[in-house]
Structure 1
Amino acid sequence: MHAIVSGAGVAGLALAGRLALDGWTVEVVERATAPRASGYLIDLFGAGYDAAERLGLLPALRARAESFDELRSVDESGRVRGRLPIARVEQATAGRWLTILRPRIVEALAEALPEGVRMRWGARVEHVHDDGARAQVLLSDGERLDADLLVGADGIGSRVRQLVWGPHERYVRPVADLLAVAWIGDDPGLNADLEGMVAMQVELDRQLMVAPLGERGVTGFAVLRGVDASRARRAVQELGVLGRRAVRSARDPYVDEVAQTIVDDWVRGRAVLLGDACAAVSPVAGQGASLAIAGAERLAEELAFARHPSDVAAGLAAYERDWRPVIDREQARGRRAQAAFAPHTRIELEAQRAMWRAAALPGVAQLVARAAGGVSKAR
């Protein structure tokens, strides 16, 4: 059996690797000419952590993970207002959790790809013909491919979804007028001042998190409400001391609206959607990469023994039937989480600050961790 996977991100590479282990041949088509270097810190836990363990990826991911001592809440002057020892988060998740840059996950997945996976960099899907038994694909470089399965794992702006399902606007739903900004930069001074800690600031309609990387690097992630992309840098600077220092090293930041993808049917003929192409929960839900890995494993499991077109159809139907309720639940949680990431009212803001003041108390760590970045219960 042969699959074409559009998208060399977390979902696409996780699926390609697992399918190849099950005897499929796979071509991964990626419009970028190389893996994207930009990205942000994510927490890998829950279903994604479990799937990574079953796929044998945990050693490589742990070797690339970041380590922090404490999460600190600061105000606009830079004063510390609350502290959450990372050890408490580890206890709350039974140790089944790690923090890692998204590009490092992609790197680990790419290195683990077995024989049977062919990477096609610098090409994208231009046309799809599906006769119900096979998918024929025309690439931007002029080559035509034929496969038993076409997978759109190409993100929230999925090209496969656009070609097979319809225009982007039908399926992408902004979340509360929020904008996400992420960057990786080089700032030895700020790196040293952070002292191995993650700094977090929450204000009305704003949140900023800044963390050290290695000996010189810094990564930042901001959620801004009601801010145009052209004003993102200024909005971060206006947060105060932390914001002004954090953006000094920002180069080519990732800037995009916080959105979810809502797709009525994930399967059409021999095409299927995976990851953010059909199930984006938004950055404020804190589980995008975890769900991408777990969803890829679920799809691969349903296709593991496919030897006939009817087997593929049955596997695709089972994948959507079983995985959709998980995504529906996490998307609902993501919509609720927007108030924690960018509180819009004084009551919401004061609730956040009260939570941080109580962060050192036993039993509060898990609640604070969920509000701070999506680290929640172990599953």
Structure 2
Amino acid sequence: MTPLSHPTPPGSSPTARRVLVSGASIAGPALAYWLDRYGFDVTVVEKAPTVRGGGYAIDIRGVAREVAARMGMMPALRAAHVNSRRLSFVDAAGEPVGSVQPEQVTGGSAGLDLEVRRGDLATALTAPLEGRVEFVFNDSIATLDDDGDAVHVEFDSGTLRTFDLVIGADGLHSNTRRLVFGPEEPFHRYLGHVFAGFTLPNEFGLVREAAVWSEPGRSAALYAHEPDEDLHGFLIFRNEDVPFTAFRNPEAQRALVRERFPERSWHLPRMVEGMEKADDLFFDIVSQIHMNTWSHGRVALVGDAAHATSFLSGQGSSVSLVGAYVLAGELARHSDHEVAFAAYERLVRPFAERNQALATSGGTVLIPGTRQELDARNAMLREAAAGGGMEGGGATHAAHSAIDLPRYE
């Protein structure tokens, strides 16, 4: 493996050298990459037993592509590019409504956006860190004690260690955020939908495409990569209240989803059956994180832990890559971590908030809430299939690049 170079950091050398990053999904390894490159001593702790592979495809768009290029990841990501060819919609009876290119719905740029499995992105991020960054798996932060000069950390394993900075990159339901800022509820914004994701055998002949069934307030989606791979299924529905009682009860989750999709049309019976049998069921709510500040003392948040955009925005990973790049750069540029944290937030917050807005402005395409919204969506799809565009695509594309990316080296 070719060692990473260590350019002289711009500005003052950082006084905070030992950094603990909690989370090894997307934002955590991206941050670790840049911090290591700037000469920090980085440890990444992850509660899972390893970096998770596979998974559904995610998009890297706009300015996030430039971050990936500056990391030297573009050859690996191009090789892993899924290249979905078509997004098809059917009505409640399973009859075709229209098929469009995915970019017509997402507002992305055909031929420029990268679509890769989440696990392939995680692998591309972590591979250059082998032998350079310490990874601690099967563990998590139990307590944090920031005494002003350092952060004293006790892990679930009982290990005690001290770091100059701690960064929470541990997702929507961040443990780091809970320990430092308190319970999630004040920062959590529920967008009114519940979803179940799972894999099932590809018995439908789908290849590098997605198909979506919709009724007001409910959608079912099948997403295919290669013909010899399992499909990713998603069942999404409107729910006025957060189903708290189902979160720790897989049987309650399955019962709730089954109840909301009783139809015998299209592939719904097979999808519900696949959901019932799946050993990888992922059940959660569609929600975002909104905070007044992303840092406190020597602890800061990045990625979904700070500003989850929700999967309806399609921008969670892209915003995470950008946030990690800026946070590391500002820590290298400023010797005072509080100045660095403030500069990072000043640059990234408007970008994150603009991409959060995509989830509420464009959600009716995938999950129309009313019959009127569904009819309007279907009319747009038919127009787009005939060669027109999807309303809002230009605004969506602008949000993907709504930050002037600094250069730190």
TM-score using structure 2 length: 0.82
Instruction: Flag the 1:91–1:30 CA change in 2: closer, same or farther, 3 A.
Output: closer
- Higher mean displacement: 135-144 or 215-224: 215-224
**Counterpart Cα distance in 1 of 2:103 and 2:145:** 52
Contact 2:233 2:271 (C-alpha < 8 Å) held by counterparts: yes
The answer to whether the 8 Å contact 1:180/1:283 transfers is no
The percentage of aligned residue pairs carrying the same residue is: 33
Q: Hey, which bits of structure 1, 4+ residues long, moved more than 4 A?
A: 86-92, 365-370, 374-378
Aligned residue in 2 for 1:184: 199
Pair 1:78 & 2:103 matched = no
1:209 aligned onto 2:237: no
Alignment pair present for 1:342 and 2:362: no
- Give the match for residue 257 of structure 1: 285
Q: Which amino acid aligns with 2:209?
A: M
Q: Which has the higher strand share?
A: 1
**1:75-224 mapped onto 2 (5 Å cutoff):** 75-85=91-101, 93=109, 95-175=111-191, 177-185=192-200, 187-190=201-204, 193-214=205-226, 215-224=228-237
Please report how far the alpha carbon of residue 231 of structure 1 lies from its aligned counterpart in structure 2 after TM superposition.
Answer: 1.5
Q: Which residue of 2 aligns with 1:51?
A: 67
What amino acid does structure 2 have at the position aligned with 1:320? E
* Letter of the structure 1 residue corresponding to residue 148 of structure 2: G
Is the contact between residue 39 and residue 182 of structure 1 (CA under 8 Å) also seen in structure 2? Answer: no
CA RMSD of aligned residues (A): 2.6
Distance change in 2, residues 1:286/1:31 (3 Å): same
Structure 2: distance between partners of 1:156 and 1:87: 26
Deviates more, 1:111-120 or 1:4-13: 111-120
Number of aligned residue pairs: give it.
369
Cα-to-partner distance string for 1:261-310 (whole Å, 9 max, x where unaligned): 1111111110001111110011111101111111111111111245x4x2
The reply to whether residue 296 of structure 1 matches residue 311 of structure 2 is no
Runs of 5+ unmatched residues, structure 2: 1-16, 244-252, 402-409
Question: Counterpart of 1:327?
Answer: 352
Contact preservation (8 Å) 2:235, 2:257: no
Distance 1:301 1:265 in 2: 19
Which string of whole-angstrom CA distances, capped at 9 and with x for unpartnered residues, describes residues 206-256 of structure 1? 122212232132112332111854412453463731222334444222110
Letter in 2 for 1:299: L
Q: Which amino acid aligns with 2:296?
A: R
Structure 1 residues 65 and 295 mapped into 2: Cα distance closer, same or farther (>3 Å)?
Answer: same
* TM-score normalized by the length of structure 1: 0.89
CA separation in 1, counterparts of 2:397 and 2:236? Answer: 17
Q: Provide the secondary structure at the position in 2 that maps to 1:26.
A: strand
Unaligned stretches of 5+ residues in structure 1 = none
Return the alpha-carbon distance in structure 1 between the equivalents of residues 236 and 221 of structure 2: 9
Partner in structure 2 of residue 274 of structure 1: 302
Q: 2:265 aligns with which of 207, 227, 240?
A: 240
Secondary structure (helix, strand or coil) at the match of 2:368 reads: coil
